[in-house]
Amino acid sequence: QQPVQSPQAVILREGEDAVINCSSSKALYSVHWYRQKHGEAPVFLMILLKGGEQKGHEKISASFNEKKQQSSLYLTASQLSYSGTYFCGTENTGNQFYFGTGTSLTVIP
Amino acid sequence: KAGVTQTPRYLIKTRGQQVTLSCSPISGHRSVSWYQQTPGQGLQFLFEYFSETQRNKGNFPGRFSGRQFSNSRSEMNVSTLELGDSALYLCASSMVDRGSGEQYFGPGTRLTVT
């Protein structure tokens, strides 16, 4: 029931774009996105509630396709500070919450 | 506004002992969730408390328990510790239930079981 993220790892040069996908086998109520830097706690990026909405936060945005039980995180014009591990967190309609498998993102100069 | 605080930050225990971890949420937040993070299993949900009631629980044995007080502070207890319980334990608070609201994480408690 743990959502699967892809890719597992990605290396970008500054200014490049990336897409991280999160796919669940269960019907979802909400999808959360977090970024965790090494040795630190996860930091909340955004939450998407069912309804197929898309949200934006500076150069980071996300979409949620409720029917496909999928969410995607879009990072545009990446900066060095974007480096870290990205996790999606999914809450299904049974109130169960699972973090995704994680995507390691490295931005290099 | 003060963030989520967790105490202690580091803990070393012996197999068979029990441990209690504490979490103080952001003022005004009513939901506290607990997570276990290990290199092998990643981030796993333990349980969520909302207004002193356990809202839901992850797939962990009964040795893991928790509670929430009227001031929203929460404690997590692990009895009969096993080596596999060594992990970073994170708590997170949100103003509304976790499914609907933003979660803010504390720095975590690093538990080592020897």
DSSP assignment of chain B, as one string?
----EEE-SEEEE-TT--EEEEEEPPTT--EEEEEEEETTTEEEEEEEEETTEEEEE-S--TTEEEEE-TTS-EEEEE-S--GGG-EEEEEEEESS-TTTS--EE---EEEEE-
Chain A residues near residue B102 by CB distance under 8 angstroms: 44, 47
Interchain CB distance below 8 Å, A87 and B101? no
Return the closest-CA partner of residue B47 out of A43, A45, A39, B61. Answer: B61
- What pLDDT is attached to residue A52? 59
Distance CA(B66)–CA(B69), nearest Å, equals 10
Out of A30, A95, A99, closest to residue B43 by CB: A99
The bridge status of strand A54-57 relative to strand A60-65 is: antiparallel
Interchain CB distance below 8 Å, A96 and B58? yes
Tens of pLDDT, residue by residue over B9-31, are 999 999 999 999 999 999 999 99
Q: Are A56 and A63 in contact (CB under 8 A)?
A: no
- What pLDDT is attached to residue A57? 67
- What pLDDT is attached to residue A93? 78
Answer with the residue of higher pLDDT: B40 or B9.
Answer: B9
Q: Is the pLDDT of residue B68 over 90?
A: yes
- What pLDDT is attached to residue A28? 86
Q: How confident is the model at residue B97 (pLDDT cuts 50, 70, 90)?
A: low
- What pLDDT is attached to residue A29? 86
Residue B56 C-alpha, separation from nearest chain A C-alpha, in angstroms: 7
Averaged pLDDT for residues B36-49: 92
Chain A residues near residue B98 by CB distance under 8 angstroms: 91, 97
Across chain B, mean pLDDT equals 93
- What pLDDT is attached to residue A91? 87
Mean pLDDT, contiguous 10-residue spans, chain A (109 residues): 93 96 90 93 89 70 89 94 95 84 96
- What pLDDT is attached to residue B1? 66
